[in-house]
Amino acid sequence: MSQSPTARHSGTDREEIFEGPNPLGLVGVEFIEYITSKPQSLGNVLETMGFRPIARHRSREVLLYRQGDLNIIVNAHGNGGVVTERPQIAAIALRVQDAATAYKRALDRGAWAVPVRVEVMELNIPAIHGVGTSRIYFVDRHGDFSIYDVDFIPIPTVDQHPPAITGLHLFGVVQYIGNERTEDWTEFYGSLFGFTALEDTTRFGILPKGRILQSPCNTFYLQLIEPEPGILDVEDDECLQRIGLGTPDVQATVAALRKLGMDFVPPKDEAQAQRGALTRTPVAGAMFELVQVTPTPGAQNRA
Amino acid sequence: MSHFQGNIDNFGMDSISLAGPLKAKLKAIQAAGFTQVMLQARDLVGHADGWRAAVQEVKDSGLRVTGFQVLRDFEGLSGHLHDYKVDIAKSMLEMCHALDCHVMLACSSTSTHATGESQKLVQDLRKLAMLAIPMDIKIAFEALSWGRSINEFPQAWDIISEADMPNLGLGFDSFHMFATKTPMEDLELLDPDKIFLVQLADFMWNEIKTVEERISTARTFRVFPGEGVHSDALATLVRKLHQLGYRGDYSFEVFNDDYQQIPLDVVAERARKAALWLGEDVLRRSVPMPNALRLKRHA
């Protein structure tokens, strides 16, 4: 535990050098899935964040929301577990070059397979267990022919590609973890997916805590956050907690989303208002963070 | 806790030392003043009402589960044997997780089908540790003194260091160290934060000449610390581990056929004496132990 995570991922793992820094051929995030027994409440929040409902699942109470390149699925059934009113992030679907290969590689290195229950004519999307009760899907059908073409029916007359408000795109996902669990989860995302830890001095947004892991495709981040020091052991509290959305201009985004009805936690000062913002909604568990991102060439924003 | 009770909080009994059903074992261990117990998978799967009922019994007892044992012959296998062992490991991890237990013991392979090639051993132990990460379980890897290619703790330590997983560390068993006469100085190699469990036991022979005798002694005739002929060495060992900075749990790994034939409270009382001897005479603990609260460390 004395070694820095960077040292661990560059020097000692022979296979990683052999396979290159992006062993699963990760290209980004295809969708993020929430489960909640109150899908309409969450849907309302998503719409005030600029997302539009664009398609319904063929056989289940599941809606697909989209803005720009980001897809969010709201699932009212859950995945066999308890469905609570409070929305929970139940899955992240990763875009990979070849889903079957990525899935097999992850299992070879100690990931837990999720047994898939597929209805007639539905896609079998390979998945592994993530933090808590969440899952990580591997999707290799994106772009022209997507997974949604099979499982979802477009809502008539609705624009299937609603543009992103003020350039909003996925910045990352925040994961709450237990005490002294940072190294464990760094290893999990490092070995299985090729994530690398950023230096502790690299910070984004207005909630600069924990360890930030960068995806090997450089398109999004995971942020691991332990409980505050001095807190007694928190058991079974690990989860994907919230989504962070990147924007080139936080204040323009805040203004645009306010028009749609979203409320924000008031910033402490001007500098903070430029770095990021935090939504304030009546729906517990449906919190979003805005993060100021300087646009970089090659960033994958459709809008 | 009063000054007269002594501080035995990080010493625990192992269910294998006692006969009878799980509930009776838990009761006897608790009555002797212990706050934790080392469990074996058999305690759960052999329960008349199923393993989940056993888990509930453990939770109801209020005893903390020191660790869950033992995954055998995991590393070094290939093909269908490897896949089979991965399934076994997953079942055990699920039970360990259900117990809210954060340490699972795996001991070095004795299988003639297993390779001794260290890169494969490292790869397999990395995989085992990876399986354990989402469940917040640490894998304590132990060198069995009759292990095929790893039979002394420095060898286990080498593999652990090479595997370099945050949740893969050493399960240290004094019996195996004494049986192979591994030098005490080798303890200096160890990082105390990577010792996930220490199991202590004494035995009655001064010398164990053959591997066969080693196995039969290990499985039928260990005694509690202070009851055998290696008390001085055990005391030195515990003090040494303490000096190194080890502050984790000590579990009494006492397999003994005779103890299986005497009342549970009598055996538990012997364990209590061993704990008091180690806590008071060997480590000379103040009561209560300062800074023993399990709080998160500041970085």
CA atoms of A96 and A102, how far apart (whole Å): 7
Residues A275 and A177 in one domain: yes
CA atoms of A123 and A31, how far apart (whole Å): 15
Instruction: Answer yes or no: is B140 within a domain.
Output: yes
**B168 vs B297, which has greater pLDDT?**
B168
Q: Which of A120, A154, A188 is the last residue of a domain?
A: A154
Residues A112 and A202 in one domain: no
Instruction: Answer yes or no: is A115 within a domain.
Output: yes
Contacts of A2 in chain B (CB under 8 A): 191
Q: Which domain holds residue B105?
A: 11-282
- Does residue B72 register a pLDDT over 90? yes
pLDDT category at B204 given cuts 50, 70, 90 is confident
Identify any residues that bridge with B170 across adjacent strands, giving them in sequence order: B141, B195
Question: Residues of chain B with pLDDT > 90: what percent?
Answer: 82
Q: What is the pLDDT of residue B55?
A: 98
Residues A177 and A150 in one domain: no
Residues A169 and A281 in one domain: yes
Contacts of B298 in chain A (CB under 8 A): 229
Residue of B nearest to A15 (CA): B123
CA atoms of A205 and A195, how far apart (whole Å): 20
Q: What is the pLDDT of residue A6?
A: 41
Contacts of A191 in chain B (CB under 8 A): 126, 130
Instruction: Answer yes or no: is B170 within a domain.
Output: yes
User: Average pLDDT in the A138-156 region?
Assistant: 86
Q: What is the pLDDT of residue A151?
A: 87
Question: Residues of chain A with pLDDT > 70: what percent?
Answer: 85
- Does residue B6 register a pLDDT over 70? no
CA atoms of A235 and A241, how far apart (whole Å): 15
Instruction: Answer yes or no: is A227 within a domain.
Output: yes
Q: What is the count of structural domains for chain B?
A: 1
Q: Which two tokens stand for residue B177?
A: 């160290």
Residues A30 and A103 in one domain: yes
Instruction: Answer yes or no: is B296 within a domain.
Output: no
Instruction: Answer yes or no: is A78 within a domain.
Output: yes
Nearest to B193 by CA among B160, B237, B228: B160
Render pLDDT for B233-270 as a digit per residue (tens, 0 to 9): 999 999 999 999 999 999 999 999 999 999 999 999 99
Instruction: Answer yes or no: is A15 within a domain.
Output: no
Highest mean pLDDT (candidates A140-154, A192-206, A276-290, B141-155):
B141-155
Instruction: Answer yes or no: is A120 within a domain.
Output: yes
Q: What is the pLDDT of residue A208?
A: 76
Comparing CB atoms, the residue among B90, B119, B296 nearest residue A231 is B296
Interface check for B27 against chain A (CB to CB < 8 A): the answer is no
Q: Which two tokens stand for residue A61?
A: 């109470």
pLDDT category at A8 given cuts 50, 70, 90 is very low
Q: Which of A16, A188, A224 to mutate to probe the B interface, most B CBs <10 Å?
A: A188
Name the least confident of A27-36, B113-122, B211-220.
B211-220
User: Average pLDDT in the A110-118 region?
Assistant: 87
Q: Yes or no: say if A226 and A179 are a contact pair by the CB < 8 Å rule.
A: yes
Predicted model pTM: 0.90
CA atoms of A100 and B123, how far apart (whole Å): 22
Render pLDDT for B31-49 as a digit per residue (tens, 0 to 9): 999 999 999 999 999 999 9
User: Average pLDDT in the B77-96 region?
Assistant: 96
Q: Which domain holds residue A252?
A: 165-292
**A284 vs A182, which has greater pLDDT?**
A182
| Residue B211 neighbours by CB under 8 Å, 6+ apart | B146
Q: Which of A154, A185, A215 is the last residue of a domain?
A: A154
Instruction: Answer yes or no: is A17 within a domain.
Output: no
Q: Which two tokens stand for residue B216?
A: 């039969």
Identity (one letter) of the amino acid at B273? K
Identity (one letter) of the amino acid at B218? A
Q: How far is A216 from chain B (nearest CA, A)?
A: 19
Interface check for A233 against chain B (CB to CB < 8 A): the answer is yes
- CATH number of the domain bearing residue B25: 3.20.20.150
User: Average pLDDT in the A157-169 region?
Assistant: 95
User: Average pLDDT in the A196-222 region?
Assistant: 91
Indicate the average pLDDT of chain B: 91
Identity (one letter) of the amino acid at B96? C
DSSP notation for A32-75:
EEEE-S-HHHHHHHHHHTT-EEEEEESSSSEEEEEETTEEEEEE
**B272 vs A124, which has greater pLDDT?**
B272
What is each CA distance from B197 to B185, B224, B248, B253, in whole angstroms? 19, 17, 7, 11
Q: Which two tokens stand for residue B144?
A: 């069995």
Residues A174 and A238 in one domain: yes
Instruction: Answer yes or no: is A18 within a domain.
Output: no
Name the least confident of A19-28, A194-203, A227-236, B147-156.
A227-236
Name the least confident of B80-94, B113-127, B200-214.
B200-214
Highest mean pLDDT (candidates A290-299, B205-214, B240-249):
B240-249
What is each CA distance from A116 to A99, A122, A128, in whole angstroms? 14, 11, 10
Residues A207 and A278 in one domain: yes
Q: What is the pLDDT of residue A59?
A: 86
Identify any residues that bridge with A91 across adjacent strands, giving them in sequence order: A33, A135
- CATH number of the domain bearing residue A256: 3.10.180.10
CA atoms of B92 and B132, how far apart (whole Å): 10
User: Average pLDDT in the B81-106 region?
Assistant: 97
Q: How far is A94 from chain B (nearest CA, A)?
A: 18
Instruction: Answer yes or no: is B53 within a domain.
Output: yes
Q: What is the count of structural domains for chain A?
A: 2
Q: What are phi and psi of B186, to 5 degrees?
A: -65, -15
Q: Which of A124, A154, A184 is the last residue of a domain?
A: A154
3-state secondary structure chain B: CCCCCCCCCCEEEEHHHCCCCHHHHHHHHHHCCCCEEEEEHHHHHCCCCCHHHHHHHHHHHCCEEEEEEEEECCCCCCHHHHHHHHHHHHHHHHHHHHCCCCEEEEECCCCCCCCCCHHHHHHHHHHHHHHHHHHCCEEEEECCCCCCCCCCHHHHHHHHHHHCCCCEEEEEEHHHHHHHCCCHHHHHHCCHHHEEEEEECEECCCCCCCHHHHHHHHHHEEECCCCCCCHHHHHHHHHHHHHHCCCCCEEECCCECCHHHCCHHHHHHHHHHHHHHHHHHHCCCCCCCCCCCCECCCC
Nearest to A221 by CA among A238, A234, A208, A230: A208
Identify any residues that bridge with A288 across adjacent strands, giving them in sequence order: A243
Q: What is the pLDDT of residue B159?
A: 97
Q: What is the pLDDT of residue A119?
A: 65
**A234 vs B273, which has greater pLDDT?**
B273
Q: What is the pLDDT of residue A209?
A: 85
CA atoms of A90 and A132, how far apart (whole Å): 9
CA atoms within 13 A on the CB side of B126: 24
Q: How far is A299 from chain B (nearest CA, A)?
A: 31
Instruction: Answer yes or no: is B55 within a domain.
Output: yes
Render pLDDT for A49-98 as a digit per residue (tens, 0 to 9): 999 999 999 888 999 999 999 999 999 987 667 788 999 999 999 999 99
Residues 160-219 of A with CB under 8 A from B: 178-181, 183-188, 191-192
Interface check for A109 against chain B (CB to CB < 8 A): the answer is yes
Contacts of B90 in chain A (CB under 8 A): 112
Q: Which two tokens stand for residue A227?
A: 């409980």
Q: What is the pLDDT of residue B228?
A: 92
Q: How far is A114 from chain B (nearest CA, A)?
A: 13
In chain A, which ranges are continuous DSSP H helix? Answer: 5-7, 14-19, 39-48, 99-108, 148-151, 182-193, 250-260, 270-275
Q: Yes or no: say if B94 and B140 are a contact pair by the CB < 8 Å rule.
A: no
Q: What is the pLDDT of residue A296?
A: 54
* ipTM of the modeled complex: 0.89
- Does residue B59 register a pLDDT over 50? yes
Q: What is the pLDDT of residue A235?
A: 55
Q: What is the pLDDT of residue B149?
A: 93
pLDDT category at A295 given cuts 50, 70, 90 is low
Q: What is the pLDDT of residue A206?
A: 82
Instruction: Answer yes or no: is B230 within a domain.
Output: yes
Indicate the average pLDDT of chain A: 87
Residues A174 and A280 in one domain: yes
pLDDT category at A13 given cuts 50, 70, 90 is very low
Instruction: Answer yes or no: is B153 within a domain.
Output: yes
Q: How far is A108 from chain B (nearest CA, A)?
A: 8
User: Average pLDDT in the A21-40 region?
Assistant: 94
pLDDT category at B209 given cuts 50, 70, 90 is confident
Q: What is the pLDDT of residue B107?
A: 96
